[in-house]
A and B are shown apart, each in its own frame.
Chain A
Amino acid sequence: GAVVSQHPSWVICKSGTSVKIECRSLDFQATTMFWYRQFPKQSLMLMATSNEGSKATYEQGVEKDKFLINHASLTLSTLTVTSAHPEDSSFYICSAREPGLDTGELFFGEGSRLTVL
């Protein structure tokens, strides 16, 4: 199956700093990538849909100025958590669909665990 890689896997930062998470599709081109957040023992929550060459579409309640998404190429989307605070500590996961795959299966990156001190 298709491979999606996410980096970094773990990041610890101080409150008020910004953190960038990268999501790459390694063996296919993804015009659309999805960013999720998952708090402990809870389900995946879609934050935004990242569209190559255009603005991301944010879900209701997600601050677009705080969670900056850039999808500058067909294989890379980045999520920047600006001015991070402890409540932003979570597991962030990206995913993408392989074009032409009938099932619509989502391929997930490894996830990035953010801890804000």
Chain B
Amino acid sequence: GQNIDQPTEMTATEGAIVQINCTYQTSGFNGLFWYQQHAGEAPTFLSYNVLDGLEEKGRFSSFLSRSKGYSYLLLKELQMKDSASYLCAGMDSNYQLIWGAGTKLIIKP
């Protein structure tokens, strides 16, 4: 079956760095997405990885290892506004997104 696993909740301190892990099992693979979702709002796109390695975009970076079925989202210089849920989603061979339950990130001053 297809499955996405990510931690339910994480806590970090303002200004610090946090890494949110995601493991995936999909039927075929056409990429791994990370979305940010603030409470009561729709998800917004953060990153897309289809090749192994690290993709850096400002304070946010995303890593993919296809052989391990593993990805992480790295957030640096955390700000209070980064408090949100972070959704990991894998795209299968039919280009359908398989969504994780999301990781709620709590930032403390």
| Residue count of chain B within 8 Å CB distance of chain A | 20
Q: How many A-B residue pairs have CB under 8 A?
A: 43
**In the complex the two chains form, is A43's CB within 8 Å of B102's CB?**
yes
> What are 29 A-B contacts with C-beta separation under 8 Å?
A1-B45, A6-B42, A41-B104, A42-B101, A43-B99, A43-B100, A43-B101, A44-B87, A44-B99, A45-B99, A46-B96, A46-B97, A93-B42, A103-B31, A103-B48, A104-B30, A104-B31, A104-B91, A104-B95, A105-B33, A105-B45, A105-B48, A106-B33, A106-B45, A108-B42, A108-B43, A109-B42, A110-B41, A113-B40
Within 8 A of A (CB), among B1-36: 30-31, 33
CB distance from B40 to the nearest CB of A (A): 7
Name B residues whose Cβ lies closer than 8 Å to a Cβ of A: 30-31, 33, 40-45, 48, 87, 91, 95-97, 99-102, 104
**In the complex the two chains form, is A106's CB within 8 Å of B97's CB?**
yes
Residue of A nearest to B91 (CB): A104
**In the complex the two chains form, is A111's CB within 8 Å of B42's CB?**
yes
Across the A-B interface, give the 4 residue pairs with the lowest CB-CB distance, nearest first: A108-B42, A43-B101, A111-B42, A103-B48
- Interface of chain B, helix or strand or loop or mixed? loop
Interface size class of A (residues with CB under 8 A): 20 to 34
CB neighbours of B33 from chain A (8 A): 105-106
CB neighbours of B102 from chain A (8 A): 43
CB distance from B46 to the nearest CB of A (A): 10
A116 to B87, CA, bound (A): 27
CB distance from B36 to the nearest CB of A (A): 11
A105 to B95, CA, bound (A): 10
Within 8 A of B (CB), among A21-36: none
